[in-house]
Amino acid sequence: MLIKICGITTPEMARKVAASGVDYIGLLFTKHSPRQIDLATAKQICEVVKDYDTQVVGVFFDESQEQIQAIDAALSLDVIQLHGDAPRAAIANFTHKPIIYVADGKALPAELNPAKDFILYEKITPDSTIPFRYFIAGGIDKDNVLARIAEANPAGVDLSSGVEITRGVKDYGKIREFLALVKPTYYGAFGGMYVPELLIEPLHDLTKAYHEIALGNEFQAEFINLLKNYVGRPTALTEVKNFAKAIGLKHVYLKREDLTHTGAHKINNALGQCLLAKKMGKTRIIAETGAGQHGVATATACAMLGLECKVYMGDVDVKRQAPNVAKMRLLGAEVISVTDGSATLKDAVNEALRDWASSYETTHYCLGTALGPYPFPQICARFQSVIGNEAKAQFAEQTGSKPDLVIACVGGGSNAIGVFQAFIPDEEIKLVGVEAGGYGTGVGENAARFQSGRLGVLHGNRTYVLQTQDGQIADTHSVSAGLDYAAVGPQHSDLFATGRASYDVASDQEALHAFQLLTSSEGIIPALESSHALAYLIRIAKDLPSDCKVLVNLSGRGDKDLPGLLERGLIHVAH
Protein backbone atom coordinates (compact mmCIF):
# COMPACT_ATOMS: atom_id res chain seq x y z
CA MET A 1 0.00 0.00 0.00
CA LEU A 2 1.50 3.31 -1.13
CA ILE A 3 1.21 6.29 1.23
CA LYS A 4 1.14 9.92 0.07
CA ILE A 5 1.03 12.78 2.57
CA CYS A 6 -0.20 15.90 0.83
CA GLY A 7 0.31 19.49 1.98
CA ILE A 8 3.72 19.22 3.69
CA THR A 9 4.82 22.77 4.54
CA THR A 10 8.09 22.55 6.52
CA PRO A 11 11.46 20.89 5.88
CA GLU A 12 11.50 19.31 9.35
CA MET A 13 8.12 17.63 8.87
CA ALA A 14 9.22 16.51 5.41
CA ARG A 15 12.36 14.89 6.87
CA LYS A 16 10.43 13.10 9.60
CA VAL A 17 7.76 11.67 7.31
CA ALA A 18 10.35 10.67 4.71
CA ALA A 19 12.38 8.87 7.39
CA SER A 20 9.19 7.09 8.44
CA GLY A 21 8.85 5.43 5.06
CA VAL A 22 6.13 7.54 3.39
CA ASP A 23 6.26 6.91 -0.36
CA TYR A 24 5.25 10.39 -1.59
CA ILE A 25 4.95 13.89 -0.15
CA GLY A 26 2.82 16.47 -1.91
CA LEU A 27 3.76 20.16 -2.16
CA LEU A 28 0.96 22.65 -2.91
CA PHE A 29 1.65 25.91 -4.72
CA THR A 30 -1.85 27.33 -5.20
CA LYS A 31 -2.58 30.54 -3.28
CA HIS A 32 -6.08 29.27 -2.46
CA SER A 33 -4.76 26.58 -0.06
CA PRO A 34 -3.72 27.01 3.61
CA ARG A 35 -1.01 24.46 2.76
CA GLN A 36 0.59 26.67 0.10
CA ILE A 37 4.40 26.91 0.18
CA ASP A 38 6.82 29.17 -1.66
CA LEU A 39 9.58 28.02 -3.96
CA ALA A 40 12.37 28.62 -1.42
CA THR A 41 10.70 26.36 1.17
CA ALA A 42 9.99 23.76 -1.50
CA LYS A 43 13.71 23.72 -2.40
CA GLN A 44 14.61 23.11 1.25
CA ILE A 45 12.12 20.25 1.43
CA CYS A 46 13.50 18.64 -1.72
CA GLU A 47 17.00 18.90 -0.25
CA VAL A 48 16.16 17.21 3.08
CA VAL A 49 14.31 14.27 1.50
CA LYS A 50 16.80 13.49 -1.26
CA ASP A 51 18.53 10.80 0.82
CA TYR A 52 15.28 8.88 1.38
CA ASP A 53 13.11 6.74 -0.88
CA THR A 54 10.29 9.30 -0.68
CA GLN A 55 9.32 11.01 -3.94
CA VAL A 56 8.28 14.67 -4.16
CA VAL A 57 4.99 15.42 -5.90
CA GLY A 58 4.16 18.89 -7.19
CA VAL A 59 0.39 19.38 -6.75
CA PHE A 60 -1.21 21.87 -9.16
CA PHE A 61 -4.79 23.21 -9.09
CA ASP A 62 -4.95 26.42 -11.11
CA GLU A 63 -1.41 27.11 -12.32
CA SER A 64 -0.66 27.67 -15.99
CA GLN A 65 1.49 25.38 -18.08
CA GLU A 66 4.33 27.90 -17.85
CA GLN A 67 4.09 28.16 -14.07
CA ILE A 68 4.15 24.36 -13.65
CA GLN A 69 7.14 24.05 -15.96
CA ALA A 70 9.03 26.77 -14.09
CA ILE A 71 8.39 25.11 -10.71
CA ASP A 72 9.38 21.71 -12.09
CA ALA A 73 12.58 23.14 -13.55
CA ALA A 74 13.50 24.69 -10.20
CA LEU A 75 12.77 21.58 -8.12
CA SER A 76 13.22 18.59 -10.48
CA LEU A 77 9.96 17.11 -9.20
CA ASP A 78 9.61 13.33 -9.17
CA VAL A 79 5.87 13.36 -9.93
CA ILE A 80 3.38 15.94 -11.20
CA GLN A 81 -0.20 15.92 -9.88
CA LEU A 82 -2.84 17.64 -12.02
CA HIS A 83 -6.14 18.82 -10.51
CA GLY A 84 -7.85 21.78 -12.14
CA ASP A 85 -8.98 22.32 -15.71
CA ALA A 86 -5.92 24.34 -16.76
CA PRO A 87 -3.28 21.91 -15.41
CA ARG A 88 -5.10 18.87 -16.79
CA ALA A 89 -5.52 20.51 -20.18
CA ALA A 90 -1.72 20.86 -20.36
CA ILE A 91 -1.06 17.16 -19.67
CA ALA A 92 0.70 16.59 -22.99
CA ASN A 93 3.58 18.80 -21.80
CA PHE A 94 4.35 16.63 -18.75
CA THR A 95 4.24 13.06 -20.04
CA HIS A 96 8.01 12.69 -19.56
CA LYS A 97 7.35 12.28 -15.82
CA PRO A 98 4.99 10.15 -13.74
CA ILE A 99 1.61 11.85 -13.44
CA ILE A 100 -1.10 11.63 -10.80
CA TYR A 101 -4.27 12.62 -12.64
CA VAL A 102 -7.33 13.61 -10.61
CA ALA A 103 -10.38 11.91 -12.08
CA ASP A 104 -13.62 13.84 -12.60
CA GLY A 105 -15.82 11.11 -14.07
CA LYS A 106 -14.99 12.00 -17.67
CA ALA A 107 -12.96 9.90 -20.07
CA LEU A 108 -9.27 9.78 -19.20
CA PRO A 109 -6.93 11.56 -21.62
CA ALA A 110 -5.06 9.41 -24.10
CA GLU A 111 -1.71 10.83 -22.97
CA LEU A 112 -1.84 8.88 -19.68
CA ASN A 113 0.36 5.79 -19.49
CA PRO A 114 -0.71 2.87 -17.24
CA ALA A 115 2.93 1.80 -16.91
CA LYS A 116 3.92 4.97 -15.00
CA ASP A 117 0.87 7.11 -14.18
CA PHE A 118 -1.75 7.03 -11.41
CA ILE A 119 -5.37 8.12 -11.14
CA LEU A 120 -6.54 9.90 -7.99
CA TYR A 121 -10.18 9.54 -6.90
CA GLU A 122 -11.35 12.17 -4.43
CA LYS A 123 -15.11 12.55 -4.70
CA ILE A 124 -16.09 9.79 -7.10
CA THR A 125 -16.09 6.02 -6.90
CA PRO A 126 -12.94 4.39 -8.30
CA ASP A 127 -13.32 2.57 -11.61
CA SER A 128 -11.63 -0.77 -10.98
CA THR A 129 -11.92 -1.75 -14.67
CA ILE A 130 -9.35 0.77 -15.87
CA PRO A 131 -5.75 -0.46 -16.37
CA PHE A 132 -4.31 2.20 -14.04
CA ARG A 133 -3.11 2.04 -10.46
CA TYR A 134 -5.07 4.51 -8.38
CA PHE A 135 -5.06 6.44 -5.10
CA ILE A 136 -8.08 7.25 -2.98
CA ALA A 137 -8.41 10.52 -1.05
CA GLY A 138 -10.98 12.73 0.64
CA GLY A 139 -12.06 12.46 4.28
CA ILE A 140 -9.74 9.56 5.08
CA ASP A 141 -8.67 9.25 8.71
CA LYS A 142 -7.53 6.53 11.11
CA ASP A 143 -11.10 5.53 11.90
CA ASN A 144 -12.15 4.78 8.32
CA VAL A 145 -8.96 4.07 6.38
CA LEU A 146 -9.03 0.27 6.66
CA ALA A 147 -12.69 0.14 5.60
CA ARG A 148 -12.01 2.50 2.69
CA ILE A 149 -9.08 0.35 1.55
CA ALA A 150 -11.15 -2.83 1.79
CA GLU A 151 -13.94 -1.21 -0.22
CA ALA A 152 -11.86 0.44 -2.96
CA ASN A 153 -8.82 -1.86 -3.20
CA PRO A 154 -6.50 1.02 -4.21
CA ALA A 155 -2.76 1.00 -4.85
CA GLY A 156 -2.39 3.80 -2.32
CA VAL A 157 -4.01 6.35 -0.03
CA ASP A 158 -3.56 10.13 -0.19
CA LEU A 159 -3.83 11.87 3.19
CA SER A 160 -3.99 15.50 4.20
CA SER A 161 -6.52 16.82 6.70
CA GLY A 162 -6.83 13.41 8.37
CA VAL A 163 -3.30 13.77 9.74
CA GLU A 164 -3.44 17.43 10.80
CA ILE A 165 -3.59 19.17 14.18
CA THR A 166 -5.27 22.20 12.63
CA ARG A 167 -5.92 23.09 9.02
CA GLY A 168 -2.59 23.10 7.19
CA VAL A 169 -0.49 21.89 10.18
CA LYS A 170 0.54 18.23 10.08
CA ASP A 171 0.60 16.04 13.21
CA TYR A 172 3.56 13.65 13.13
CA GLY A 173 1.96 11.42 15.75
CA LYS A 174 -1.13 10.98 13.57
CA ILE A 175 1.05 10.18 10.56
CA ARG A 176 2.86 7.45 12.53
CA GLU A 177 -0.46 6.10 13.76
CA PHE A 178 -1.70 5.97 10.17
CA LEU A 179 1.41 4.16 8.98
CA ALA A 180 1.03 1.54 11.70
CA LEU A 181 -2.54 0.88 10.58
CA VAL A 182 -1.88 0.74 6.85
CA LYS A 183 1.52 -0.98 7.01
CA PRO A 184 1.25 -3.10 10.17
CA THR A 185 4.22 -5.31 9.26
CA TYR A 186 6.59 -2.33 9.29
CA TYR A 187 8.21 0.12 11.68
CA GLY A 188 8.21 3.14 9.40
CA ALA A 189 10.29 2.10 6.38
CA PHE A 190 11.70 -1.02 8.03
CA GLY A 191 10.52 -4.55 8.70
CA GLY A 192 8.14 -6.47 6.48
CA MET A 193 7.81 -10.15 5.68
CA TYR A 194 10.50 -11.06 3.12
CA VAL A 195 10.28 -14.85 3.14
CA PRO A 196 9.70 -17.74 0.72
CA GLU A 197 6.05 -18.45 0.00
CA LEU A 198 6.33 -21.64 2.07
CA LEU A 199 6.70 -19.58 5.26
CA ILE A 200 3.80 -17.17 4.66
CA GLU A 201 1.19 -19.53 6.11
CA PRO A 202 3.05 -20.24 9.38
CA LEU A 203 3.76 -16.52 9.80
CA HIS A 204 0.09 -15.71 9.33
CA ASP A 205 -0.81 -18.45 11.83
CA LEU A 206 1.67 -16.99 14.31
CA THR A 207 0.30 -13.48 13.80
CA LYS A 208 -3.23 -14.68 14.46
CA ALA A 209 -2.17 -16.60 17.57
CA TYR A 210 -0.21 -13.64 18.90
CA HIS A 211 -3.22 -11.31 18.65
CA GLU A 212 -5.86 -13.81 19.74
CA ILE A 213 -3.92 -15.70 22.42
CA ALA A 214 -0.81 -13.84 23.60
CA LEU A 215 -2.54 -10.48 23.99
CA GLY A 216 -5.48 -12.03 25.83
CA ASN A 217 -6.03 -11.61 29.57
CA GLU A 218 -5.73 -15.34 30.35
CA PHE A 219 -2.34 -15.69 28.64
CA GLN A 220 -1.03 -12.46 30.14
CA ALA A 221 -1.98 -13.52 33.66
CA GLU A 222 -0.20 -16.87 33.23
CA PHE A 223 2.86 -15.22 31.66
CA ILE A 224 3.14 -12.56 34.38
CA ASN A 225 2.89 -15.28 37.04
CA LEU A 226 5.78 -17.17 35.39
CA LEU A 227 7.87 -14.01 35.14
CA LYS A 228 7.38 -13.42 38.85
CA ASN A 229 7.63 -16.92 40.29
CA TYR A 230 9.90 -18.66 37.76
CA VAL A 231 12.06 -15.97 36.16
CA GLY A 232 12.41 -13.87 39.31
CA ARG A 233 10.96 -10.57 38.17
CA PRO A 234 11.05 -7.74 38.84
CA THR A 235 14.83 -7.64 38.55
CA ALA A 236 16.72 -5.11 40.67
CA LEU A 237 17.68 -1.57 39.73
CA THR A 238 21.12 -1.12 41.29
CA GLU A 239 22.91 2.18 41.81
CA VAL A 240 26.63 1.61 41.17
CA LYS A 241 28.31 4.40 43.11
CA ASN A 242 31.88 3.07 42.95
CA PHE A 243 31.72 2.60 39.18
CA ALA A 244 30.14 6.03 38.76
CA LYS A 245 32.84 7.70 40.88
CA ALA A 246 35.56 5.93 38.88
CA ILE A 247 34.31 7.53 35.65
CA GLY A 248 33.47 10.94 37.11
CA LEU A 249 29.69 10.70 37.46
CA LYS A 250 27.33 10.69 40.44
CA HIS A 251 24.27 8.73 39.32
CA VAL A 252 24.61 5.49 37.36
CA TYR A 253 21.97 2.77 37.66
CA LEU A 254 21.99 -0.74 36.22
CA LYS A 255 18.83 -2.63 35.29
CA ARG A 256 19.90 -6.08 36.44
CA GLU A 257 18.79 -8.56 33.79
CA ASP A 258 21.81 -10.62 34.89
CA LEU A 259 19.73 -11.60 37.95
CA THR A 260 17.03 -13.44 36.00
CA HIS A 261 16.77 -17.21 35.99
CA THR A 262 19.32 -18.24 33.28
CA GLY A 263 21.26 -15.01 33.72
CA ALA A 264 20.06 -12.72 30.93
CA HIS A 265 17.08 -10.91 29.44
CA LYS A 266 16.58 -13.69 26.87
CA ILE A 267 14.30 -15.69 29.19
CA ASN A 268 11.55 -13.03 28.94
CA ASN A 269 11.07 -13.61 25.21
CA ALA A 270 11.86 -17.34 25.17
CA LEU A 271 9.34 -18.14 27.88
CA GLY A 272 6.65 -16.01 26.25
CA GLN A 273 7.14 -17.60 22.83
CA CYS A 274 7.33 -21.18 24.13
CA LEU A 275 4.18 -20.69 26.19
CA LEU A 276 2.42 -19.31 23.11
CA ALA A 277 3.70 -22.21 20.99
CA LYS A 278 2.34 -24.75 23.45
CA LYS A 279 -1.07 -23.09 23.38
CA MET A 280 -0.91 -23.25 19.56
CA GLY A 281 -0.48 -27.02 19.82
CA LYS A 282 3.19 -27.10 18.81
CA THR A 283 5.31 -29.87 20.36
CA ARG A 284 8.76 -28.94 19.10
CA ILE A 285 10.79 -25.74 19.45
CA ILE A 286 13.81 -24.68 17.41
CA ALA A 287 16.01 -21.68 18.14
CA GLU A 288 19.22 -19.98 17.05
CA THR A 289 21.79 -18.62 19.46
CA GLY A 290 25.04 -16.67 19.38
CA ALA A 291 26.18 -15.98 22.94
CA GLY A 292 24.21 -19.02 24.04
CA GLN A 293 21.92 -17.10 26.39
CA HIS A 294 18.89 -17.40 24.11
CA GLY A 295 19.65 -21.07 23.62
CA VAL A 296 19.85 -21.65 27.36
CA ALA A 297 16.66 -19.63 27.92
CA THR A 298 14.78 -21.58 25.24
CA ALA A 299 16.05 -24.94 26.52
CA THR A 300 15.00 -23.90 30.03
CA ALA A 301 11.50 -22.89 28.94
CA CYS A 302 11.11 -26.13 26.96
CA ALA A 303 12.20 -28.25 29.92
CA MET A 304 9.66 -26.53 32.15
CA LEU A 305 6.83 -26.69 29.58
CA GLY A 306 7.58 -30.23 28.33
CA LEU A 307 8.56 -29.33 24.76
CA GLU A 308 11.21 -30.85 22.50
CA CYS A 309 14.06 -28.40 21.84
CA LYS A 310 16.74 -28.08 19.13
CA VAL A 311 19.20 -25.17 19.11
CA TYR A 312 21.35 -24.09 16.13
CA MET A 313 24.64 -22.43 17.01
CA GLY A 314 27.61 -21.37 14.88
CA ASP A 315 30.68 -23.55 15.39
CA VAL A 316 32.76 -20.49 16.37
CA ASP A 317 30.24 -19.68 19.10
CA VAL A 318 30.04 -23.30 20.26
CA LYS A 319 33.75 -23.09 21.02
CA ARG A 320 33.77 -19.66 22.69
CA GLN A 321 30.57 -20.24 24.71
CA ALA A 322 31.23 -23.77 26.00
CA PRO A 323 29.55 -23.26 29.42
CA ASN A 324 26.24 -22.37 27.76
CA VAL A 325 26.50 -25.31 25.34
CA ALA A 326 26.89 -27.63 28.32
CA LYS A 327 23.90 -26.04 30.03
CA MET A 328 21.67 -26.47 26.95
CA ARG A 329 22.56 -30.15 26.66
CA LEU A 330 22.04 -30.67 30.39
CA LEU A 331 18.58 -29.13 30.00
CA GLY A 332 17.75 -31.72 27.32
CA ALA A 333 18.22 -29.64 24.18
CA GLU A 334 19.95 -30.91 21.06
CA VAL A 335 22.67 -28.41 20.06
CA ILE A 336 23.54 -28.38 16.35
CA SER A 337 26.95 -26.90 15.49
CA VAL A 338 26.72 -24.95 12.21
CA THR A 339 29.95 -24.87 10.18
CA ASP A 340 28.68 -23.01 7.08
CA GLY A 341 29.79 -19.48 6.22
CA SER A 342 31.40 -17.60 9.09
CA ALA A 343 29.98 -20.21 11.52
CA THR A 344 28.42 -17.52 13.73
CA LEU A 345 24.92 -16.24 14.49
CA LYS A 346 23.96 -15.39 10.90
CA ASP A 347 24.59 -18.96 9.82
CA ALA A 348 22.72 -20.38 12.81
CA VAL A 349 19.65 -18.32 11.82
CA ASN A 350 19.91 -19.67 8.26
CA GLU A 351 19.80 -23.26 9.50
CA ALA A 352 16.93 -22.58 11.90
CA LEU A 353 14.85 -21.05 9.08
CA ARG A 354 15.53 -24.07 6.84
CA ASP A 355 14.38 -26.39 9.62
CA TRP A 356 11.21 -24.36 10.24
CA ALA A 357 10.31 -24.31 6.55
CA SER A 358 10.11 -28.11 6.54
CA SER A 359 8.60 -28.68 9.99
CA TYR A 360 6.29 -25.76 10.87
CA GLU A 361 3.19 -27.93 11.29
CA THR A 362 4.57 -29.26 14.59
CA THR A 363 7.36 -26.76 15.22
CA HIS A 364 7.62 -23.18 16.43
CA TYR A 365 10.74 -21.17 15.65
CA CYS A 366 11.57 -19.26 18.84
CA LEU A 367 13.50 -16.40 17.26
CA GLY A 368 15.68 -14.87 19.93
CA THR A 369 15.82 -11.20 19.08
CA ALA A 370 13.72 -8.28 17.81
CA LEU A 371 14.19 -8.92 14.10
CA GLY A 372 13.15 -11.36 11.40
CA PRO A 373 9.91 -11.34 9.41
CA TYR A 374 6.71 -9.92 10.90
CA PRO A 375 5.40 -10.66 13.53
CA PHE A 376 8.67 -11.71 15.25
CA PRO A 377 10.00 -8.15 15.95
CA GLN A 378 6.66 -7.14 17.51
CA ILE A 379 6.40 -10.33 19.57
CA CYS A 380 9.91 -10.02 20.95
CA ALA A 381 9.53 -6.31 21.70
CA ARG A 382 6.28 -7.01 23.55
CA PHE A 383 7.75 -9.77 25.72
CA GLN A 384 10.90 -7.73 26.44
CA SER A 385 9.01 -4.52 27.24
CA VAL A 386 8.80 -5.72 30.86
CA ILE A 387 12.41 -4.49 31.23
CA GLY A 388 11.65 -0.85 30.47
CA ASN A 389 8.32 -0.85 32.28
CA GLU A 390 9.99 -2.07 35.47
CA ALA A 391 12.99 0.23 35.10
CA LYS A 392 10.83 3.31 34.60
CA ALA A 393 8.82 2.63 37.75
CA GLN A 394 11.90 1.68 39.80
CA PHE A 395 13.84 4.75 38.70
CA ALA A 396 10.97 7.02 39.70
CA GLU A 397 10.64 5.24 43.06
CA GLN A 398 14.35 5.40 43.90
CA THR A 399 15.18 8.87 42.58
CA GLY A 400 11.89 10.71 42.33
CA SER A 401 12.75 11.55 38.74
CA LYS A 402 13.49 10.01 35.37
CA PRO A 403 16.80 9.18 33.69
CA ASP A 404 18.47 11.69 31.42
CA LEU A 405 20.16 8.96 29.40
CA VAL A 406 19.29 5.30 28.73
CA ILE A 407 22.00 3.07 27.23
CA ALA A 408 21.90 -0.53 26.01
CA CYS A 409 24.06 -2.73 23.80
CA VAL A 410 22.59 -3.65 20.41
CA GLY A 411 23.14 -6.89 18.52
CA GLY A 412 19.82 -7.95 17.05
CA GLY A 413 18.38 -5.49 19.53
CA SER A 414 16.06 -7.27 21.95
CA ASN A 415 17.47 -6.05 25.27
CA ALA A 416 17.76 -2.50 23.94
CA ILE A 417 14.24 -2.38 22.54
CA GLY A 418 13.01 -3.90 25.78
CA VAL A 419 14.43 -1.11 27.91
CA PHE A 420 13.78 1.66 25.34
CA GLN A 421 10.05 0.91 24.92
CA ALA A 422 8.88 2.65 28.09
CA PHE A 423 10.96 5.76 27.39
CA ILE A 424 10.37 6.29 23.64
CA PRO A 425 7.35 8.61 24.16
CA ASP A 426 9.38 10.96 26.39
CA GLU A 427 11.67 12.78 23.97
CA GLU A 428 13.50 14.53 26.82
CA ILE A 429 15.20 11.20 27.59
CA LYS A 430 18.12 10.40 25.32
CA LEU A 431 18.29 6.79 24.08
CA VAL A 432 21.62 5.32 22.91
CA GLY A 433 22.27 1.89 21.45
CA VAL A 434 25.85 0.63 21.40
CA GLU A 435 27.06 -1.70 18.66
CA ALA A 436 30.17 -3.85 18.45
CA GLY A 437 33.09 -1.80 17.13
CA GLY A 438 35.30 -4.89 16.99
CA TYR A 439 38.96 -4.20 16.22
CA GLY A 440 38.63 -1.89 13.20
CA THR A 441 36.42 -0.09 10.71
CA GLY A 442 36.94 -2.38 7.72
CA VAL A 443 34.53 -4.97 6.37
CA GLY A 444 34.56 -8.02 8.64
CA GLU A 445 36.27 -6.19 11.52
CA ASN A 446 33.14 -5.15 13.44
CA ALA A 447 29.36 -5.45 13.67
CA ALA A 448 28.50 -1.75 13.44
CA ARG A 449 25.45 -1.66 11.19
CA PHE A 450 24.61 2.01 11.69
CA GLN A 451 28.21 3.07 11.12
CA SER A 452 28.89 1.35 7.79
CA GLY A 453 25.84 -0.74 6.92
CA ARG A 454 23.21 0.11 4.36
CA LEU A 455 19.62 -0.82 3.64
CA GLY A 456 19.11 -4.45 2.73
CA VAL A 457 17.09 -7.54 3.49
CA LEU A 458 18.35 -10.29 5.76
CA HIS A 459 16.45 -13.07 7.48
CA GLY A 460 13.04 -11.82 6.48
CA ASN A 461 13.14 -8.09 7.23
CA ARG A 462 14.28 -4.84 5.59
CA THR A 463 16.78 -3.11 7.82
CA TYR A 464 20.37 -1.90 8.05
CA VAL A 465 22.76 -4.67 7.01
CA LEU A 466 26.53 -4.93 6.76
CA GLN A 467 27.31 -5.77 3.13
CA THR A 468 30.28 -6.15 0.83
CA GLN A 469 30.77 -3.83 -2.16
CA ASP A 470 28.77 -6.19 -4.39
CA GLY A 471 25.88 -6.52 -1.92
CA GLN A 472 26.76 -9.85 -0.30
CA ILE A 473 26.23 -10.19 3.46
CA ALA A 474 29.51 -9.25 5.11
CA ASP A 475 31.31 -11.26 7.75
CA THR A 476 31.28 -9.61 11.16
CA HIS A 477 33.44 -9.62 14.25
CA SER A 478 32.95 -8.95 17.93
CA VAL A 479 34.63 -10.23 21.06
CA SER A 480 31.03 -10.79 22.24
CA ALA A 481 29.14 -13.57 20.46
CA GLY A 482 25.75 -11.93 21.01
CA LEU A 483 26.66 -8.79 19.05
CA ASP A 484 28.38 -10.64 16.19
CA TYR A 485 25.59 -10.26 13.60
CA ALA A 486 25.26 -8.45 10.28
CA ALA A 487 21.77 -6.93 10.70
CA VAL A 488 19.77 -5.11 13.35
CA GLY A 489 16.11 -5.14 14.36
CA PRO A 490 13.79 -2.97 12.21
CA GLN A 491 12.49 -0.88 15.11
CA HIS A 492 16.05 0.20 15.86
CA SER A 493 16.46 1.15 12.21
CA ASP A 494 13.33 3.26 12.49
CA LEU A 495 14.49 4.92 15.71
CA PHE A 496 17.82 5.70 14.02
CA ALA A 497 16.26 7.02 10.80
CA THR A 498 13.77 9.26 12.61
CA GLY A 499 16.37 10.48 15.11
CA ARG A 500 14.57 9.26 18.24
CA ALA A 501 17.58 7.16 19.28
CA SER A 502 21.25 7.45 18.44
CA TYR A 503 23.71 4.61 17.95
CA ASP A 504 27.42 4.45 18.64
CA VAL A 505 30.10 1.76 18.93
CA ALA A 506 32.49 0.36 21.52
CA SER A 507 35.57 -1.58 20.50
CA ASP A 508 36.63 -4.98 21.79
CA GLN A 509 39.30 -3.39 23.96
CA GLU A 510 36.91 -0.79 25.39
CA ALA A 511 34.43 -3.54 26.25
CA LEU A 512 37.10 -5.63 27.98
CA HIS A 513 38.16 -2.60 30.05
CA ALA A 514 34.55 -1.94 31.07
CA PHE A 515 34.10 -5.63 31.92
CA GLN A 516 37.01 -5.49 34.36
CA LEU A 517 36.14 -2.07 35.81
CA LEU A 518 32.57 -3.00 36.77
CA THR A 519 33.72 -6.35 38.15
CA SER A 520 36.47 -4.86 40.32
CA SER A 521 34.53 -1.79 41.48
CA GLU A 522 31.10 -3.31 42.15
CA GLY A 523 31.43 -7.10 42.35
CA ILE A 524 29.15 -7.48 39.32
CA ILE A 525 30.51 -9.50 36.38
CA PRO A 526 28.76 -8.22 33.23
CA ALA A 527 28.28 -10.10 29.98
CA LEU A 528 30.63 -8.96 27.24
CA GLU A 529 27.58 -7.73 25.32
CA SER A 530 26.51 -5.48 28.22
CA SER A 531 30.13 -4.36 28.64
CA HIS A 532 29.82 -2.50 25.33
CA ALA A 533 27.10 -0.28 26.80
CA LEU A 534 29.27 0.37 29.87
CA ALA A 535 32.28 1.08 27.64
CA TYR A 536 30.38 3.76 25.74
CA LEU A 537 29.39 5.41 29.04
CA ILE A 538 33.02 5.36 30.23
CA ARG A 539 34.12 7.09 27.01
CA ILE A 540 31.52 9.88 27.09
CA ALA A 541 31.39 10.40 30.88
CA LYS A 542 33.82 13.35 30.71
CA ASP A 543 31.40 15.17 28.39
CA LEU A 544 28.33 14.67 30.59
CA PRO A 545 27.23 16.88 33.50
CA SER A 546 28.48 15.19 36.68
CA ASP A 547 24.91 14.96 37.99
CA CYS A 548 23.54 13.35 34.80
CA LYS A 549 21.24 10.46 35.71
CA VAL A 550 22.16 7.40 33.62
CA LEU A 551 20.36 4.08 33.24
CA VAL A 552 22.29 1.20 31.65
CA ASN A 553 20.60 -2.07 30.83
CA LEU A 554 22.88 -4.83 32.09
CA SER A 555 21.51 -7.46 29.74
CA GLY A 556 23.32 -10.47 31.20
CA ARG A 557 26.07 -11.83 33.40
CA GLY A 558 29.58 -12.69 32.31
CA ASP A 559 30.01 -16.21 33.70
CA LYS A 560 29.56 -17.56 30.17
CA ASP A 561 32.43 -15.41 28.87
CA LEU A 562 35.08 -16.12 31.53
CA PRO A 563 36.48 -19.46 30.24
CA GLY A 564 36.99 -18.11 26.71
CA LEU A 565 38.49 -14.82 27.91
CA LEU A 566 40.94 -16.60 30.20
CA GLU A 567 41.87 -19.16 27.55
CA ARG A 568 42.63 -16.43 25.00
CA GLY A 569 44.48 -14.29 27.54
CA LEU A 570 42.09 -11.37 27.07
CA ILE A 571 41.74 -10.84 30.83
CA HIS A 572 44.13 -11.61 33.63
CA VAL A 573 43.33 -12.89 37.10
CA ALA A 574 45.75 -12.10 39.93
CA HIS A 575 47.17 -15.10 41.79
Where residue 315 falls (left for φ over 0; alpha for ψ -120 to 50; beta otherwise) is alpha
Active site residues: 266, 288, 555
pTM, to two decimals: 0.94
Contact 390, 234 (CB under 8 A): yes
| Residue 177 burial class via C-beta count within 10 angstroms: exposed 0-12, middle 13-18, buried 19 and up | middle
Where residue 259 falls (left for φ over 0; alpha for ψ -120 to 50; beta otherwise) is alpha
The 3 state secondary structure assigned to 56-75 is EEEEECCCCHHHHHHHHHHH
Q: Which pLDDT score is estimated for 575? A: 60
Residue 388 bridge partners (DSSP): none
Rounded to an integer, what distance in angstroms lies between the CA atom of residue 160 and that of residue 164? Answer: 7
- In order of their start, the domains of the chain are 2-183 (3.20.20.70), 197-231+264-376 (3.40.50.1100), 237-261+384-567 (3.40.50.1100)
Q: Which pLDDT score is estimated for 320? A: 87
Q: Residue 27 to residues 16, 61, 348, 406: CA-CA distances in angstroms? A: 15, 11, 47, 38
Residue 505 bridge partners (DSSP): 435
Instruction: Output the CA angle 449-440-522, nearest 5 degrees.
Output: 85
Contact 42, 27 (CB under 8 A): yes
Rounded to an integer, what distance in angstroms lies between the CA atom of residue 389 and that of residue 318? Answer: 33
Rounded to an integer, what distance in angstroms lies between the CA atom of residue 8 and that of residue 323? Answer: 56
Helix axes 217-226, 266-279, angle to 10 degrees: 140
> For every one of its 575 residues, what pLDDT tens digit does the chain have, with 9 covering 90 and above?
999 999 999 999 999 999 999 999 999 999 889 999 999 999 999 999 999 999 999 999 999 999 999 999 999 999 999 999 999 999 999 999 999 999 999 999 999 999 999 999 998 999 999 999 999 999 999 999 999 999 999 999 999 999 999 989 999 999 999 999 999 999 999 999 999 999 999 999 999 999 999 999 999 999 999 999 999 999 999 999 999 999 999 999 999 999 999 999 999 999 999 999 999 999 999 999 998 999 999 999 999 999 999 999 999 999 988 999 999 999 999 999 999 999 999 999 999 999 999 999 999 999 999 999 999 999 999 999 999 999 999 999 999 999 999 999 999 999 999 999 999 999 999 999 999 999 999 999 999 999 999 999 999 999 999 999 999 999 999 999 999 999 999 999 999 999 999 999 999 999 999 999 999 999 999 999 999 999 999 999 999 999 999 999 999 999 999 998 998 999 877 66
Q: Which pLDDT score is estimated for 571? A: 87
Q: Residue 328 to residues 256, 321, 332, 526: CA-CA distances in angstroms? A: 23, 11, 7, 21
Instruction: Output the CA angle 165-168-173, nearest 5 degrees.
Output: 35
| Residue 138 burial class via C-beta count within 10 angstroms: exposed 0-12, middle 13-18, buried 19 and up | middle
Q: Residue 158 to residues 67, 179, 265, 272: CA-CA distances in angstroms? A: 24, 12, 42, 39
Give the residue from 420, 447, 473 showing the smallest Cα distance to 532.
447
Q: Which pLDDT score is estimated for 31? A: 87
